[in-house]
Each structure stands twice: as structure tokens, then as C-alpha cells.
Amino acid sequence: MAALLQPQPETIRHVADLLLAGEIVALPTETVYGLAADATNASAVEKIYAAKNRPPSNPLIIHCNNLDMVDEYAYTNVPLFEILSKKFWPGPLTIVLPRKSGLADTVTAGLDSVAVRLPQQPVMQKVIEAVGRPLAAPSANPSGYVSPTTAQHVIDSLGDNISAILDGGSCACGLESTIVMLTSSGRPRILRPGPVRMNELERVTGCQFDSLEIRNTPDDAQRAPGMLTTHYQPRARLLLWQGDASDIKPSTANDALIYFAERPPNAGTFNVVNHLGGGLLEQAERELYATLREMDALGVETIYMEVPRDTYSPALLDRINRASSGWA
Ligand code: TXA
Ligand code: MG
């Protein structure tokens, strides 16, 4: 079982030494907890894929703590890089850039690009600084399951497979970073919606961004590895609804109703009822994964979840849609 460590200077040094010795550890970021390894060490990176049971075709994000480190491993002389990195780093924005050599090949799953981010979470920044190398880190969950937003979530679903977890409290965003791909020609593209919204990206750059619509073709798989629809799923069946909840009846005593709107729906017959984020958008983003995990812990069989209406959170809609994909 992994040791749960509080972030003090000694434990940060200890975790940095584990990473330099090729171990994998779970670390807090402002988006979700990550499962980190030294991105230059192929056998350490291999351990991430094994612990998560992650398909080898799904590349990892590298986490740096300054632009010099980014420059060492990626070409940053692409349009919009400077403006985006100045405005949104450190923070929940990942930028896909042409890669240089020096990273383990498995980090990028053999692609000639690399996804980079400078996280804002201070504990994470201190660990990267102490290691002095980029950390490859996907979300610290078994592949396909809901991402972790607390240290306890990591222990619950991955605790047996890793050596340590550094506790940084609850993640401030609660959803994974926005991923943008910058190329030397053509429009920049959002590969995954996240906390940095498209309108902010467009306002800051004065450019239009394309957003990727996943259709699950082999072509999509190549352009956006790891973004195919079945992802982020709780064990419970997740069914979506909109409008009036009064027709929805639980089929077992273990079913749950999650609603988002201000008005409480007619939910008399459900034993488990949850008002996601108190109806507040950013709070709902922060709480979505914790709520889905809580439903699984309660043994809920079917979650009837309201799709937030009239809200500008493509990230929230994206995660809810993926979590429910595959269920009628
Ligand atoms: O917020 C986050 O981004 C969290 C924290 C830990 O930083 N990390 C995260 O990693 O969500 P992960 O592995 O769950 O998702 C990374 C995704 C991949 O699934 C893939 O879609 C995309 O990043 N990706 C990575 N490298 C890429 C590349 N070279 N080209 C296109 N997409 C890439
Ligand atoms: Mg993930």
C-alpha cells in the first residue's frame, strides 16, 4: 500500500529522490492528481502504463516548472506559443508541441509531438524543481475509470500499485487540463476542453480555434490519441436526462438522482439525491468526479444525471457525455 505523505520539505525531497530512482508517485495538481515518473527514464515511464493498465498508444503529458525546461524537450517557436504560455502558464492548459529528443519514447507513444504543461499547484511545482527534470504524469486512476481529485481517491483505486502519494488536498479545478495543439500551419485546435475555455483562448490570441469532434475513426485516434469516447466511467450505469425529472423512477433502491438546476426536481422516490455543485458551474466541475466516485462507493447501480442546460462548460458536458457513453 502506498504511503500517504504530507507536503513538507523532507517529504518533497524524499518524493523527488524516489522519482530520480525510477519510482512512480502520485502528486497533486490543480486539475486532478497525476501519477508521475521521470519523463527521461524509460523504465519509470513504463511503470505508469503498467500501474494504470493504460494502452501504450495513449501518450502522456510532461509537467515542467519553467520555460527553459520546456525548451529543452520541445520546439516552442510555433505561432501562439508565446502568448498562450505567458497568459495561461502556470495553469490548467496543456500545449502540444513538436518534440525534441531526450524524453523516453514511451512518453509520447512514438509521436513526433509532446504535450507540455506548467502546473500551478505549489506542491507539484516544488517536486518538479527538486527533481530538475520534466515529470510525465497522466491522471492517477486506472485507465478508463474516473480521475482522482483527492489523495484518498488515489489510494482507493490505485493505492496498491504505487510507492507514495503526496497529499495536496482537493484539486482546485477538478477536471483535466484543456489541451491545445499548435501547428505551424492551419488553425490551432482544442483536443480536449477543460478549465481554460475556448472563448478565453480566442480572446487572448485573437485567433479562432477549432475544436475536435471525436467520431472514433482511426484517423481521430491518430490525431487525438486517448480521446476516444469511452473514458472516465464510473462503475454505476450513468443515464442522462434533461427537463422534468418526474417521469424518472428508480428501478432499484440503490439508484441515484443527480440534478444540477436550481429547483429541486420531483425526486421523492430516490434514496440518493445529489445537487451537483449546488447548481454552480465551477463548483460542479470541481465536484463531478468526487460525486461519481461517491456513488460507486455507495454501491449505486444506476445514476440518473441531469445534463446542465444553458451553461458554458464544454468541459463538464464532455466528461458527462463520456462517462455515460455506452449506456442507453
Ligand atoms: O490535467 C491534466 O492534464 C492531468 C494532470 C495530471 O496534469 N493529466 C491528464 O493526463 O489528464 P491524461 O493522461 O489523463 O490525459 C493526457 C491526454 C492523452 O490522453 C492524450 O489525449 C493527450 O493528453 N496527449 C498527450 N500527448 C499528446 C500528443 N503528443 N498529441 C496529442 N494528444 C496528446
Ligand atoms: Mg486520464
Residue whose CA is closest, atom 20 of ligand 1? 226
Residue whose CA is closest, atom 27 of ligand 1? 115
Q: How far is the CA of 82 from the centre of ligand 2 (A)?
A: 26
Q: What is the pLDDT of residue 114?
A: 97
Q: What is the pLDDT of residue 224?
A: 61
Ligand showing the shortest atom-to-Cα distance for residue 29: 1
Q: What is the pLDDT of residue 70?
A: 98
Between 174 and 213, where is the model more confident? 174
Residues 167, 52 contacting (CB under 8 angstroms): no
Q: Is 174 in the pocket of ligand 1 (CB under 6 A)?
A: no
**Predicted confidence band of residue 218 (pLDDT cuts 50, 70, 90):** low
Q: What is the pLDDT of residue 220?
A: 60
How far apart, in whole angstroms, are the C-alpha atoms of residue 263 and residue 225?
Answer: 39
Q: What is the pLDDT of residue 215?
A: 56
Whether the pLDDT of residue 39 is over 80: the answer is: yes
Q: Is 121 in the pocket of ligand 1 (CB under 6 A)?
A: no
Whether the pLDDT of residue 152 is over 70: the answer is: yes
Q: How far is the CA of 115 from the centre of ligand 1 (A)?
A: 7
Task: For residue 194, count CB atoms less than 10 angstroms from its CB and return exposed for 0-12, middle for 13-18, buried for 19 or more.
Answer: buried
Phi, psi of 273 (to 5 degrees): -130, 135
Residue 160, all three cell numbers: 496498491
Q: Is 308 in the pocket of ligand 1 (CB under 6 A)?
A: no
Q: What is the pLDDT of residue 228?
A: 57
Q: How far is the CA of 263 from the centre of ligand 1 (A)?
A: 36
Q: How far is the CA of 271 from the centre of ligand 1 (A)?
A: 37
Please report the atom of ligand 1 found closest to the CA of residue 223.
Answer: 31
pLDDT tens digits, 72-86: 999 999 999 999 999
Residues 24, 185 contacting (CB under 8 angstroms): no
**C-alpha distance across the termini of the chain, in Å:** 37
CA distances from 268 to 61, 226, 239 (A): 44, 40, 18
